Amino acid sequence: MVITKKALLVLLFTALVLFSSCSKSQDDSGVYDGKVYVTGENPVLRLKINEEDKDFVTSASFWRVVYSPVGRGHILYIRSDITGDGETEDDVKAIFTDNKELVEYMNREILTRYLEDPYPVYNAHFTYAGDPRTEWTEVVQSDDYTIVLVWKDFIEPFLVATPIGGERPFGISSVGIPATTAEVYINGTKVVGEAFPEMLGKAQNSTARLWWAESWVK
């Protein structure tokens, strides 16, 4: 097959456009061109009863935001079938926060799925304890709930840095610290389920992990 000069120029131009769209987030300086939407910590914790199960009995996404355009704050997004008995009145499906404006911002700009499936929002107080080399605990207290999230038995950390314009509209950088053991307590009751190993690219990961030094840029 003979490729004409014109066709070759078209191919080169197309490749250049695709490369530019995927790499526009960074030049030789290492500085991203995009706007910083949020930065902080985002540990996640997902528990299953059996490793082969498709559904998680508990899913928790915790945010300790140190910068956003609407200020600092904490958010816990949680959905839990506490006893693993299916949909019942004791289930928890809620958002806890000390900055409701931050929740509105996150839902609008980053976690838009919560606009489609809104969770009730509760005011809460947040504390933490531990060492991310061994065991880490987040405690969330509202008028009706005390929720304790525990990550422990960590394995080797890894760094993730995705460019703007890739599979997601955001460029994200974060240090992942996978936990081989995780626990959730809701009002003193230990939630059923456990963390299981999973791969993230070539990194050994877990369904429960700390995401430290996390930034979202677009």
Query: For 11-15, 49-53, 121-125, which range has the lowest pLDDT when averaged over its residues?
Result: 11-15
Round to the nearest angstrom and report the end-to-end CA distance of the chain: 41
pLDDT recorded at residue 20: 45
Tens digits of residue pLDDT in 5-18: 444 343 333 333 33
Domain ranges for the chain, please list them. 28-217
pLDDT tens profile 22-36? 445 567 787 878 899
Mean local confidence (pLDDT), 52-72: 97
Residue 153 · residue 178 · CB < 8 Å: no
pLDDT band at 139 (very low <50, low <70, confident <90, very high): very high
Segment 151-161 shows an average pLDDT of: 97
Residue type for 161, please? A
Whether 147 shows a pLDDT value over 70: the answer reads yes
The whole-angstrom separation of Cα 151 and Cα 130 is: 10
Q: How far, in Å, are 8, 101, 154, 179 from residue 56 at the CA level?
A: 50, 29, 21, 16
User: In 114-157, which ranges are E strands?
Assistant: 121-123, 125-131, 135-141, 146-154
Tell which phi-psi region holds residue 187, choosing left (phi > 0), alpha (psi between -120 and 50) or beta.
Answer: left
Task: Give the Å distances, CA to CA, from 134 to 74, 78, 85, 175, 190.
Answer: 23, 24, 32, 16, 20
Question: Residue 136 in 3-state DSSP?
Answer: strand
